Structure 1
Amino acid sequence: METLTLEAVGKTPAEEKGIETLASAQTQLARAVALLGYDEGTHEMLRRPRRELQVSVPLRRDDGTVRVFSGYRVQHNLSRGPAKGGVRFDAGVSLDEVRALAMWMTWKCALLDLPYGGAKGGVAIDPRDFSTSELERVTRRYTSEIMPIIGPQRDIPAPDIGTDETTMAWMMDTFSVNNGFTVSGVVTGKPISIGGSLGRSSATSEGLFHVALAALKEEGIRVDQARVAIQGFGKVGAEAARLLAEAGARIQALSDRYGAIYAASGIDVSSLTSHVARTGTLVGFGGAEPIEHAQLLELSGDLLIPAAVEGVLTSDNASAVSARIIVEGANGPTTADADRILEERGIVVVPDILANAGGVLVSYFEWVQAHQAYRWSAREVDERLRGRMLEAWSLVRSRSSRDSLSLRDAATAMAVERVADAHRIRGLYP
């Protein structure tokens, strides 16, 4: 099947990237639809977002000047339950990017058999350029603008790139104040003190870790002999590096937005974490040598984890990738063209909708706890996370073997099938 293309003439770089990201998501869906034999009407229903909201987000800066940013919230599908998905603050946020991310959230929730549809949101702002008080005002204004379509039974936001538990606290408070009472379940990823779940902050990395170990085992690679490269040393990459290092893996390469480092004998992740806490970057770490960002993706090794942003593995570099296994920590890090090249080369790609689903899984646990007004122990959360992630891995691996599909095609087909079944059973109104 040919890769879908969308018109990108006269667009900004962020808009062009969003168009490419959406094209990759739509190509993956088209492949699943073809595999499942669905008609064009079903394909169109699955392809189109259920609801989109684009808003202006004005900000009065600390110096009294006013800036206006674009904000978005896209609800892709609601057939299996309320929408669920993160909010990112990033200068590159665009409507097409959010559309793609919302679609992937639909498949991710369905694959993990969560009673959610997919959503995503964001504001086109670089949080590094603004004070804490300015970011609070942006968050509260954005929340007030999307308030008509969010809620614990409608759409439940969570943290993503450029946002964190503090952002979620501001969102929850804004929603609650406007409703006249505390609504804990309106967001997930909150601080523990106001209804967050134990284990949520590390959930994406924990889930990634369990799936990575399963993939290594499947390929006959002992974790204590595995050579690992991780792109991104943020919320997901840093914790994944720690977990894999503690399990005995050799972390040879890491990167952040400022630079990349390599050590053939392995990087001391604990020392690096201390260095980053002091300096704000892994650049300048004495226990490794600097390399180019592009080199990290092409290093010879057993496991590559792209855990930064979408669209980093493309037709331009996929032929040079040397890792035996790729486990996608970011959303959409591999374009459709790169996917085809990697599959032809026999490189195992564990798709994002499975590999990084630990975050939304524990967000679901947090939402359930909010409805119960009860907190689970860290052990309960960890055990349920591991069990659900490995169950999903086993089902995807079985479907892949049974139907001779890549892991991505198997996972996407399973997820799309569940969403389509829900839509069919509910019927079309009116």
Structure 2
Amino acid sequence: MDAVGAPLTTRQHVLEFVDPVEGCTGYLVYDRIECRLAAGGCRMWPGLTVDTLSALAERMTLKQRVLGTNVDGAKCGVDFDPQAPGSRAVLGRFLEFLRHELLTRFSMGCDMGTRFEQLEELATAMGIGSVKVAVKKAQGFSDEEFARRQSLLDAKVGAYTVSQRRAGHAVAAATVAAARHAGYKVKGLHVGLQGFGNLGRAAAYSLANWGASVTAVGDEHGCMVDPHGFDVARMLQADRSRPVVDLLGQPLRLPPSVLCELPVDVLVLAAAEDALTPEQAAVLPAPVVVVAANCGITPEVERILTDRGVVVVPDFIGGIGGSASMETLFGPASTPSPKEVLDLLEGLIDELVTDVLGAARTRGLPPSQVALDIAAAAPVHPDGPPYGSSPYLPSGRRPRGNRVAKAGRPAKKRGKIR
């Protein structure tokens, strides 16, 4: 299982894995080889291809450049069913194949078909301690400081750990910031969620804590609706393997497509690629759409929504929470508390979304184009530490981003997210 490298595009690099027992293939794709550190999730999914991983790795680089970190994008995964017998063993062999990369350059997270706790257990069994151990050397941490910060991911803030909450917490923060931009307040905000997996559940938890109402939830099995808002705490106690229509014994159960016909204030797409058809986009009643899933809508759908005046937070902003949380965990000069990691993340996302949507309105451009412009103009310091350089990282006073404003467009000062 030696790593064999080959160029995938003019700037990408791929390592190919063939499992010696199951015969399935896996890949690690580096989108670039510039910085000390590359970061991305690990996916286990039947039918997974190197082309898919290539596109996702490129998306990861976009997220890092928008954030202003000195990190390259990457993505890895195995073409295997995570529910099949032997899946854990396959994943363990894949991580062993990536041992050198994990020790030197690749910071791994979870993705479809994997859980962060599972990846950490396998890394511990391998004797390397963590799938994020490459951060230690790249950031210049001592063993003790890295262990201190890494342990914060397992610390509870409320009912869940920082690791379980971070990506969904960022989605919730993006939802509130986008809604505020459109003139809504968080108290009583009506939110529709497509997807109630790890991301959707964590987003619902934070939104409910802030006073928003999750009034519709859908997945591939169906949609359930409650205009008064669901009991999110009760929903989160239910078996996560059950379809959403069975979570509460709720009487009003509808087809999945109905979610896109409901008059919610914000529709959050946290489940699958290409979640809206052009036909649905043309009549979607929601005035705000937050795309949290990678490639959650096509460029055509985004164009239709934007032309209709719908506020759209693109996927590489709405789904940036995993990357952004690494900045709030490893970037501060002193070790934050578990709550501070999430508070900093909330402030970072608030400033980022406010910056992008404000500039989109001022410049008459889609938010995705503004974010792409930010990414293209981002300075990268390959020899610098990966984290701690994001202009959106709150510094103790208030978020201080507005990179678009620095280019000559005046910025409004914003207070806290709520």
TM-score with structure 1 setting the length: 0.75
Question: Residues 142, 366 of structure 1: CA spacing in aligned structure 2 closer, same or farther, 3 A cutoff?
Answer: farther
One-letter code of the match for 2:54?
Answer: R
Deviation at 1:76, TM superposition (A): 0.7
Task: Determine helix, strand or coil for the equivalent of 2:336.
Answer: coil
Instruction: Tell me if the contact between 1:140 and 1:170 (Cα under 8 Å) persists in the aligned partners.
Output: no
**For 1:412 and 1:209, how far apart are their aligned partners in 2?**
22
Aligned to 2:288: 325
Aligned to 1:342: 305
**For 1:221 and 1:194, how far apart are their aligned partners in 2?**
36
Question: Residues 288, 272 of structure 1: CA spacing in aligned structure 2 closer, same or farther, 3 A cutoff?
Answer: farther
Question: Residues 53, 235 of structure 1: CA spacing in aligned structure 2 closer, same or farther, 3 A cutoff?
Answer: same
Task: Decide which moves more: 254-263 or 96-105.
Answer: 254-263
For the pair 1:221 / 2:150, whether they are aligned, the reply is no
Deviation at 1:267, TM superposition (A): 2.0
Instruction: Tell me if the contact between 1:171 and 1:187 (Cα under 8 Å) persists in the aligned partners.
Output: no
Say which of 89, 106, 109 aligns to 1:158.
109
Say which of 83, 92, 95 aligns to 1:128.
83
Say which of 218, 237, 247 aligns to 1:274.
237
Deviation at 1:182, TM superposition (A): 7.7
**For 1:253 and 1:332, how far apart are their aligned partners in 2?**
22
Task: Determine helix, strand or coil for the equivalent of 1:236.
Answer: helix
Question: Residues 331, 339 of structure 1: CA spacing in aligned structure 2 closer, same or farther, 3 A cutoff?
Answer: same
Matches within 5 A, 1:25-424: 48-59=10-21, 67-130=22-85, 134-148=86-100, 150-151=101-102, 153-173=104-124, 176=127, 185-186=133-134, 195=151, 197=153, 198=155, 199-276=162-239, 280-284=242-246, 285-366=248-329, 376-418=336-378
Instruction: Tell me if the contact between 1:48 and 1:76 (Cα under 8 Å) persists in the aligned partners.
Output: no
Deviation at 1:368, TM superposition (A): 5.9
Task: Determine helix, strand or coil for the equivalent of 1:395.
Answer: helix
Instruction: Tell me if the contact between 1:109 and 1:115 (Cα under 8 Å) persists in the aligned partners.
Output: yes
Deviation at 1:242, TM superposition (A): 2.2
Task: Determine helix, strand or coil for the equivalent of 1:338.
Answer: helix
The Cα offsets for residues 136-189 of structure 1, whole Å up to 9 and x where unpaired, read as 3111211122334x2355221111111112332144236545xxx88861489x
One-letter code of the match for 2:15?
Answer: L
One-letter code of the match for 1:125?
Answer: F
**For 2:174 and 2:227, how far apart are their aligned partners in 1?**
24
Unaligned runs of 5+ in 2: 1-6, 137-145, 156-161, 383-418
Task: Determine helix, strand or coil for the equivalent of 1:244.
Answer: helix
Instruction: Tell me if the contact between 1:157 and 1:186 (Cα under 8 Å) persists in the aligned partners.
Output: no
One-letter code of the match for 2:198?
Answer: K
Task: Determine helix, strand or coil for the equivalent of 1:323.
Answer: coil
Task: Determine helix, strand or coil for the equivalent of 2:292.
Answer: coil
Task: Determine helix, strand or coil for the equivalent of 1:128.
Answer: coil
**For 1:320 and 1:87, how far apart are their aligned partners in 2?**
36
The Cα offsets for residues 212-238 of structure 1, whole Å up to 9 and x where unpaired, read as 111111111122332211011011101
The Cα offsets for residues 289-348 of structure 1, whole Å up to 9 and x where unpaired, read as 211112213322210001012221233432232211011121110111111111111111
**For 1:75 and 1:345, how far apart are their aligned partners in 2?**
37
One-letter code of the match for 1:388?
Answer: L
One-letter code of the match for 2:73?
Answer: G
Instruction: Tell me if the contact between 2:175 and 2:268 (Cα under 8 Å) persists in the aligned partners.
Output: no
Aligned to 1:5: none
**For 2:320 and 2:130, how far apart are their aligned partners in 1?**
28
Task: Determine helix, strand or coil for the equivalent of 2:365.
Answer: coil
**For 1:191 and 1:58, how far apart are their aligned partners in 2?**
34
Deviation at 1:384, TM superposition (A): 1.9
Question: Residues 400, 160 of structure 1: CA spacing in aligned structure 2 closer, same or farther, 3 A cutoff?
Answer: same
One-letter code of the match for 2:365?
Answer: L
Deviation at 1:209, TM superposition (A): 1.4
**For 2:177 and 2:374, how far apart are their aligned partners in 1?**
19
Deviation at 1:366, TM superposition (A): 4.7
Deviation at 1:48, TM superposition (A): 4.5
One-letter code of the match for 1:168?
Answer: L
For the aligned residues, what is the CA RMSD? Answer: 3.2
**For 2:312 and 2:300, how far apart are their aligned partners in 1?**
13
Instruction: Tell me if the contact between 2:37 and 2:135 (Cα under 8 Å) persists in the aligned partners.
Output: no
One-letter code of the match for 1:166?
Answer: E
Instruction: Tell me if the contact between 2:152 and 2:337 (Cα under 8 Å) persists in the aligned partners.
Output: no
Percent identity over the alignment is 27
**For 2:38 and 2:223, how far apart are their aligned partners in 1?**
36
One-letter code of the match for 1:417?
Answer: A
Question: Residues 362, 237 of structure 1: CA spacing in aligned structure 2 closer, same or farther, 3 A cutoff?
Answer: same
**For 2:115 and 2:147, how far apart are their aligned partners in 1?**
9
Paired residues in the alignment total 360
**For 1:365 and 1:398, how far apart are their aligned partners in 2?**
23
Instruction: Tell me if the contact between 1:262 and 1:288 (Cα under 8 Å) persists in the aligned partners.
Output: no
**For 2:329 and 2:339, how far apart are their aligned partners in 1?**
14
Aligned to 2:159: none
**For 2:11 and 2:224, how far apart are their aligned partners in 1?**
40
Instruction: Tell me if the contact between 2:356 and 2:371 (Cα under 8 Å) persists in the aligned partners.
Output: yes
